Amino acid sequence: MKVKIGVVGAGTMGAGIAQVAAQAGHRVVLTDTNPEQLKKAEQQISSSLLKLTEKGKFSSEEAEEIKNNMAYSTQLSELQEAVLVIEAIVENLAVKHQVFTQLEQVVSPTCILASNTSSLSIASIGSCLQDPSRFLGIHFFNPATLMPLVEVIPGVATSSENTQHIEELITSWHKTAVVCKDTPGFIVNRVARPFYGEALRIYEEGLADFATIDWAMTTIGGFKMGPFTLMDYIGNDINYTVTETVFAAFYFDPRFKPSFTQKRHMEAGFLGRKTGRGFYNYQEGSVAPAPNRNEALGQQIFERILVLLINEAADAVFMQVASPTAVDLAMTKGVNYPKGLLAWADELGAGWVLERLEILFAEYGEDRYRPNPLLRRKAREQSKFIL
């Protein structure tokens, strides 16, 4: 029997994370202050396991064993024997501090504590602990059972042994673990910003409508979903808030400036699929708008968004947030990009990317288009990002 894992918070993420750990063979205790939420999580996990059994991923005996290895409780004291506790409660620093302060009284001194936070810094959450060297970020993507990527984020106080241990453990859960620095948005939520932001900007300039931009990114770019379809899927409230949080956390760097168009959609209640209307209309009988299939325009849109994405990926490497391989893995495994952005840059040539950014920078004179120094270096040296 493998070691015991604790998960605090049985919402969207916590239930998924608990299931992933149980499927890896661990005994798992899932806690929540709300007993109704625990019931809902148990039902959701049961029906997910049933589907996986039908698909042949597990035998019914295996599914039964996974279920038997899971316990649900409203009490943190049930986490006493855990070797790792992952917190996935509300995104509120004061509430997280309360939980971690209590947890530290319950668990053994060697138990590793982690948060699934998307937007708070690991340093700030860990600061409430007597031993912050045992604390780090373990950031799963939604839905946790399906998305292969997990960002592992040591804070300034985290011991390197604990980081390495967690990287190995998460890999043994059949997930792709990438280690990154405790900076706003970690890898994915930082590097992906231009996918949304530049698409919105192109629309705001009147160059193309939503359907045409989505068509360019899927048909010409090979992305699984266009930016507007994806924002509608994520929800404009959630996606806008991530952008705004990253923008503020980067001291209002114009590269991350949020868009009025998205804000207005959010304010109007056009949140996306969940409200029946976002950038597109999802109500019964509504007809999807047709794109303008002009190849030259599509190519221009695709290239403009792609070079901004590559510039952001280069910046994450330049600022030592993560290695080039980790950045590429994060974008292919966390948000399903068709290629790693840096491998894409290598294929096109850093000089090709730089040339297009310099044209945009000269045209607009805005910092959002300033080419990253690492990209300049790669272009000058005619070298590659991925060796």
Ligand X SMILES: NC(=O)c1ccc[n+]([C@@H]2O[C@H](COP(=O)([O-])OP(=O)(O)OC[C@H]3O[C@@H](n4cnc5c(N)ncnc54)[C@H](O)[C@@H]3O)[C@@H](O)[C@H]2O)c1
Catalytic site residue 172? no
Given the residues 151, 167, 198, 303, the one annotated as active site? 151
Instruction: Spell out a b/e string for 80-111, using b for 16 or more CB atoms within 10 Å of the CB, else e.
Output: eebbbbbbbbeeeeeebbebbeebbebbeeeb
Spatial separation of the C-alpha atoms in residues 386 and 255, rounded to whole Å: 24
- CB-based contacts of 293: which residues, under 8 Å, 6+ apart? 212, 215
List the 84-87 sheet strands across, edge first. 70-73, 27-31, 4-8, 84-87, 112-115, 135-140, 149-154, 176-179
**Which one of the spans 28-36, 169-177, 278-286, 322-330 is the region binding ligand X (CB under 6 A)?**
28-36
Out of 32, 104, 182, 346, the only residue in the binding site for ligand X (CB under 6 A) is 32
The verdict on 9 binding ligand X (CB under 6 A) reads yes
Pair 339, 332: CB distance under 8 Å: yes
Judge whether 92 counts as a catalytic residue. no
Angle CA(272)–CA(235)–CA(304) in degrees, nearest 5?
95
244 included as an active-site residue: no
Per CB under 6 A, 90 contacts ligand X: yes
**Out of 189, 259, 311, 372, which one is annotated catalytic?**
189
How far apart are the C-alpha atoms of 332 and 148, rounded to whole Å?
Answer: 10
Shortest distance, position 15 Cβ to ligand X, whole Å? 8
**270: which 2 tokens?**
């056009």
Query: Residue 379, interface with ligand X (CB under 6 A)?
Result: no
Q: Tally the residues of the chain.
A: 387
DSSP run (H or E) holding 71: strand 70-73
How many Å apart are CA 142 and CA 12, to the nearest integer? 8
Percentages (nearest 5) of helix, strand, coil residues in the chain:
55, 10, 35
- Tokens 């597990």 correspond to what residue? 58
Choices 111-119, 311-319, 340-348, 370-378 (CB under 6 A): range interacting with ligand X:
111-119
Task: CB nearer to ligand X: give 60 or 74.
Answer: 74
Using the rule CB under 6 A, is 6 a contact of ligand X? Answer: no
User: How far apart are CB 309 and ligand X at their closest, in Å?
Assistant: 20
Q: Do residues 154 and 133 touch, judged by C-beta distance below 8 A?
A: no
- Is residue 118 annotated as part of the catalytic site, yes or no? yes
Residues binding ligand X: what is the number (CB under 6 A)?
22
When asked if residue 8 is in the footprint of ligand X (CB under 6 A), the reply is: yes
Residue nearest to ligand X (CB): 11
One-letter amino acid at 112 equals I
Beta carbon of residue 143, minimum distance to ligand X (angstroms, whole number): 8
Task: Name which position in 89, 177, 192, 200 contacts ligand X (CB under 6 A).
Answer: 89
Sign of the CA dihedral 160, 162, 164, 170?
negative
Q: Taking the complex as a whole, how short is the minimal distance between the CB of residue 119 and ligand X, in angstroms?
A: 6
Q: Which stretch binds ligand X (CB under 6 A): 113-121, 195-203, 315-323, 348-356?
A: 113-121
Q: In this structure, are residues 27 and 1 in contact, taking their beta carbons and an 8 Å threshold?
A: yes
Q: Does 116 bind ligand X (CB under 6 A)?
A: yes
Which residue of 5, 7, 10, 329 would you call a contact of ligand X, by CB under 6 A? 10
What does the per-residue mask of binding to ligand X show for 127-166, with x meaning CB under 6 A? -------------x-x------------------------
Contacting ligand X within 69-88 (CB under 6 A): 88
Q: Name the residue nearer to ligand X (CB basis): 40 or 165.
A: 40
Catalytic pick among 42, 116, 121, 139 = 139
Q: Which residues are marked as active site?
A: 118, 139, 151, 189
Q: Which residues bind ligand X (CB under 6 A)?
A: 8-14, 32-34, 37, 88-91, 95, 99, 116-118, 140, 142
